[in-house]
Amino acid sequence: MPSLLTLAMSPVAVVTGAGRGQGAAEAGMLRSRGWDVLTTDVAGEVDVVADVCDGQAWTSLVEVVLERHGRLDGLVNNAAVHHTRPLLEERADEVERVFRINTLGPLMGIQAVAPVMQASGGGSIVNVSSFAGARGLPGHTAYGAAKWALRGISRTAAVELGPRGIRVNAVLPGPIETAMLPVPEDQRASRFSKLPLGRAGTPTEVAEVVCFLLSDAASYVSGAEVAVDGGMAA
């Protein structure tokens, strides 16, 4: 992959689930660091409203990127849904929905962008998994299993796409202060005070790691999993 610093134009990235929270923070930070970013979500103030589970939507998204920028250097598979429910109460339709968005969506995204990245000289993909995808958590049957699967996709993609000049890594956030965090705001301080760092994280702290993995500073990093969890994994 040619150095992004030597390109005559800004590097280009797509960020899914960018309507709020982590995705919005990632897109904003990338833009502040000189990237052209195309944001997508099913709602909100984004460049393209699209469903990550829709293959035609991915095709159209790539067409928009090429039309506007002529290349694609980065993809952040951030879009996700979340719910908590005891294992014996999980519903098949809801589990399927979580897997479609949290696992199938990123896979379809990788399939859609890889040929364009290769044609651009290479690129970097960051899949946003979760601490719940590395450890069993009560009530996280669907979400945790989907994020575990996303880790497997990330590693396989790193192996298969590396020869094409495409790096693939995963980020595993712990509790992050977004609307998806399943803890009431007035209980968060006490709930996470026992973490090694004593608090929940912020979307900006996740965005910093995502931006690093997309950048040339991580040019020899692929197939890695980076925990952004305040020390939970320790």
Q: What is the DSSP letter of 224?
A: -
Closest C-alpha among 80, 33, 36, 45 to residue 204? 33
* pLDDT over 60 (residue 9): yes
* pLDDT over 50 (residue 64): yes
* pLDDT over 50 (residue 6): no
Amino acid code (one letter) for 136: G
pLDDT digits (tens, 9 = 90+) for 34-56: 999 999 999 889 999 999 999 99
pLDDT band, residue 8 (cuts 50/70/90) = low
**Whole-number Å distance between alpha carbons of 3 and 1:** 6
Residue 220 annotated to the active site? no
Q: Can you give the pLDDT at residue 60?
A: 97
* pLDDT over 90 (residue 178): no
Asked if residues 149 and 202 have their Cβ atoms less than 8 Å apart, the reply is: no
* Catalytic pick among 143, 146, 149, 176: 143
pLDDT digits (tens, 9 = 90+) for 190-200: 788 889 999 99
Q: What is the DSSP letter of 178?
A: S
Task: Give mean pLDDT, residues 118-137.
Answer: 96
* pLDDT-above-70 percentage for the chain: 96
Domains, the chain, ordered by start: 4-228 (3.40.50.720)
What DSSP string describes 79-100?
------B-GGG--HHHHHHHHI
